[in-house]
Every structure is written in structure tokens, then in C-alpha cells.
Amino acid sequence: MTRNLPAAHSSSTMRSLKERQREERAALILAAAQEVFTERGYYDASIDEIAARAGIAKGTVYLHFASKEDLLVALVEQQIVGFLSFVDQIIGEPLTVRARVEQILLNVYTRMQEQRNQVLLELNNRIGLTKSVIEKRENLQAHITQAMQRITALLEEGQRSGELDSTVPTPLLVATFVTLVSPSGYELLLISGQISPAQLAAYVSRIFFPRLAAPSLQQA
């Protein structure tokens, strides 16, 4: 009696299957890491708990990430990339700068509320990601730089169009914006009690933009 193998997959298919499985595994670990890092902070998070939460063994984590620091960096990078792609998408839309800024705020705050990730985790050293760590990682460095450039471009456009105060150095505007968008900023913003991401975005926008400028999102 012969065994009927389910149609010999081409080696390339096999590889891509394995590849896919591997990536799924990595994503699973990253998700677990995100949870634990968020709950406990980088130092109090243990590889043991991350592995347990991902349903795998401790050693397996190291098949995907070379070290705990690497895991953090990968996580941060993932988030930056996600942020970057959203920004790239929004930035091309035919809206006022203010409207686009508000879209970004809304996206960030919504994701934060969903606890699904803490965007821009990395622009901020909340978890203990020291500058030296970032500097060692060229990729990460590059992604962060790109994100900052996008934001800079957007806000510069706002200054040129008069939506933003052009007497303030752009980098300062950028810094302010980033601060408002970072997790620690978000946490503080939450002090005001239950407030929806949309409201939060609108209010922050109102603070950020000259109060007499054009209206936005809400009432367009």
C-alpha cells in the first residue's frame, strides 16, 4: 500500500511555507512581548513570561530574537514601520495640514486605547530604551529618522500655508507634536478621565493649532 503524499510541494513553496510559519511565530512572540513590556516595563518583564504568554518555550524565543534587547528593538521597529506607513498614506491626501495632523492623532490614540500597541514607543524612552541602544541599530535609527522627516515635512507645509506659526523653528514644532503623541504623553492626557480618542485628537489639535485658524475634521 502506497502513501499518497499531498502533492509534493515545490521546494520554493515549502520554503515559503516555513518562512511564513517562522514569521507567524515571530509575530506571536512580538505580541506577547508587547503585552508584557507594557504591563511590567522592560526590566521587570521576563523572557519566561513572554514565552509562556506566547505559548512556547523560553529557548524558542532565542531562535527568533538574539537577545532581550533585540526583542525590544524589533517591537519598536515594527511599530515605527506601522506608524510610518500610516503617515505616508495620510500625508498624500488632499487635506489641510490640520486635518492630516488630526488623522494621525486619531490613529495613534485609537491604537493606544485598543492597547494593541504603543506607537512611538521608541521615540520616547519610556520603557528604558536608552539612546545608546537606538544608536546601535541602524535600521531602527533609519526608520525613526524617516518618521521624523515625514512629520517635519508635514509641519513645514503647515507653516508655509499659515496653519502653523512660522516663527517657531520647525524642529520645535515637531518635538512638541511627538511628545503629544508618545505613550507618556498619552498617559498624562488620560488624566482628564474618560475621553474618546476622537475627542482627544480634536482637543490636542485645538491646542496645537492657532485658535483662530480654520476649523477641521469635526465640522468640515
Partner DNA sequence: GATGAATGAGACTTCATTCAT
Partner DNA sequence: AATGAATGAAGTCTCATTCAT
Note the residues at the interface with a second copy (CB under 8 A): 1-2, 40-44, 123-128, 130, 148, 165, 167-169, 171-176, 178-180, 182, 184-185, 187-193, 195, 200, 203-204, 206-208, 210-213
**Cβ 210 to a second copy shortest distance, Å:** 4
The CA distance from 177 to 205, in Å, is 10
Among 13, 16, 46, 218, binds DNA (CB under 7 A): 46
Ramachandran angles phi, psi of 127, nearest 5°: -85, -5
Between the alpha carbon of residue 209 and those of residues 73, 106, 120, 192, the distances in Å are 33, 15, 22, 20
Establish if 63 lies at the interface with DNA (CB under 7 A): yes
- Out of a second copy, DNA, none, what residue 18 binds, judged by CB under 5 to 8 A for its kind, is DNA
Residue count at the site for DNA (CB under 7 A)? 21
Q: Between 63 and 168, name the residue whose CB sits nearer to DNA.
A: 63
Give the Cβ contact number of residue 9 at 10 Å: 12
Whether 178 and 123 have beta carbons less than 8 Å apart is answered as yes
Whether 45 and 87 have beta carbons less than 8 Å apart is answered as no
* Residues 124 to 143 in contact with DNA, rule: CB under 7 A: none
Establish if 35 lies at the interface with DNA (CB under 7 A): no
- Out of a second copy, DNA, none, what residue 208 binds, judged by CB under 5 to 8 A for its kind, is a second copy
Which region, judged by CB under 7 A, interacts with DNA, from 67-75, 85-93, 180-188, 197-205? 67-75
For the four alpha carbons of 42, 45, 147 and 170, in that order, the dihedral sign comes to negative
For the four alpha carbons of 206, 212, 216 and 219, in that order, the dihedral sign comes to positive
Chain residues in the site for DNA (CB under 7 A): 18, 21-22, 25, 44-48, 56-60, 62-64, 66-69
